[in-house]
Structure 1
Amino acid sequence: MSDRLDIAADPDAVAAERDAVVSRIRDHAGEIAYAIARIEGGDYGRRSFKTDDGEWTVKHEQGDIEFLLFEPRSGQETYVVSTQQPPEPAALAEALADYDAFVAAFDDYVRSLDGLLDDVPTEFPTPASAADVVAERDRIVARLREVCNQMAGELYRYEMDDYGTFTARVNGTRWELKREESSTSYLRAGGSGGTYLLSQYGPPSAEAVREFAPDAPDFVAAYNDHVAELELDLEQIDL
Structure 2
Amino acid sequence: MTEPTDRDPASTEAVAERRDEVVARVADHAGTIARELALLHGGDYGKRSFETERGEWTVKYEAGALQFLLFDGGRTETYVVSTKHPPDPDPLATAMEDYDAFVAAYNDYVGSLSGVLDDVADEFPEVASTESVVAERDRVLGAIRDAADRMALELSRYEADEYGTFAARVDGTRWELKWDVDGASYLRVGGEGGIYLLSQYEQPSARDVRRLAGDVSGFVAAFNDHVEDLDAGLSTVSLDP
The interval holding the TM-score normalised by the smaller chain is 0.7 to 0.9
Contact 2:176–2:188 (Cα < 8 Å) also in 1: yes
Unpaired runs of 5+ residues, structure 2, are: 1-9
Distance 1:208 1:238, change over 3 A: same
C-alpha deviation, 1:54, in angstroms: 1.7
Distance 1:125 1:167, change over 3 A: same
Contact 1:152–1:181 (Cα < 8 Å) also in 2: no
Q: Which amino acid aligns with 1:76?
A: T
Distance 1:123 1:11, change over 3 A: same
Distance 1:131 1:25, change over 3 A: same
Partner of 2:130: 130
Partner of 1:153: 153
Write the distance in 1 (CA, Å) between the matches of 2:176 and 2:80: 60
Partner of 1:3: none
Partner of 2:35: 34
Partner of 2:222: 222
Write the distance in 1 (CA, Å) between the matches of 2:37 and 2:108: 13
Select between 217-226 and 116-125 the one with higher mean Cα deviation: 217-226
Pairs within 5 Å for 1:1-239: 9-10=11-12, 14=16, 18=19, 21-72=22-73, 74-83=74-83, 85-90=84-89, 91-239=91-239
Larger radius of gyration: 2
Write the distance in 1 (CA, Å) between the matches of 2:154 and 2:21: 76
**Aligned residue pairs, count:** 229
Distance 1:60 1:88, change over 3 A: closer
Distance 1:100 1:133, change over 3 A: same
Contact 1:154–1:182 (Cα < 8 Å) also in 2: no
C-alpha deviation, 1:131, in angstroms: 1.6
Select between 186-195 and 124-133 the one with higher mean Cα deviation: 186-195
Select between 200-209 and 151-160 the one with higher mean Cα deviation: 200-209
1:181-219 Cα offsets, whole Å, 9 max, x none, are 242222233333333322223422223323333332222
Contact 1:156–1:182 (Cα < 8 Å) also in 2: no
Write the distance in 2 (CA, Å) between the matches of 1:229 and 1:222: 11
| TM-score, L = length of structure 2 | 0.79
Distance 1:114 1:162, change over 3 A: same
Contact 1:80–1:86 (Cα < 8 Å) also in 2: no
Write the distance in 1 (CA, Å) between the matches of 2:66 and 2:213: 52
Secondary structure class of the residue paired with 2:47: strand
Write the distance in 1 (CA, Å) between the matches of 2:14 and 2:158: 83
Write the distance in 2 (CA, Å) between the matches of 1:164 and 1:36: 58
Write the distance in 2 (CA, Å) between the matches of 1:82 and 1:178: 60
Write the distance in 2 (CA, Å) between the matches of 1:41 and 1:23: 26
Write the distance in 2 (CA, Å) between the matches of 1:194 and 1:149: 20
Distance 1:88 1:63, change over 3 A: closer
Unpaired runs of 5+ residues, structure 1, are: 1-7
Write the distance in 1 (CA, Å) between the matches of 2:214 and 2:95: 69
Secondary structure class of the residue paired with 1:68: strand
C-alpha deviation, 1:17, in angstroms: 5.7
- For the aligned residue pairs, the C-alpha RMSD in angstroms reads 2.9
Contact 2:148–2:184 (Cα < 8 Å) also in 1: yes
Write the distance in 2 (CA, Å) between the matches of 1:211 and 1:44: 46
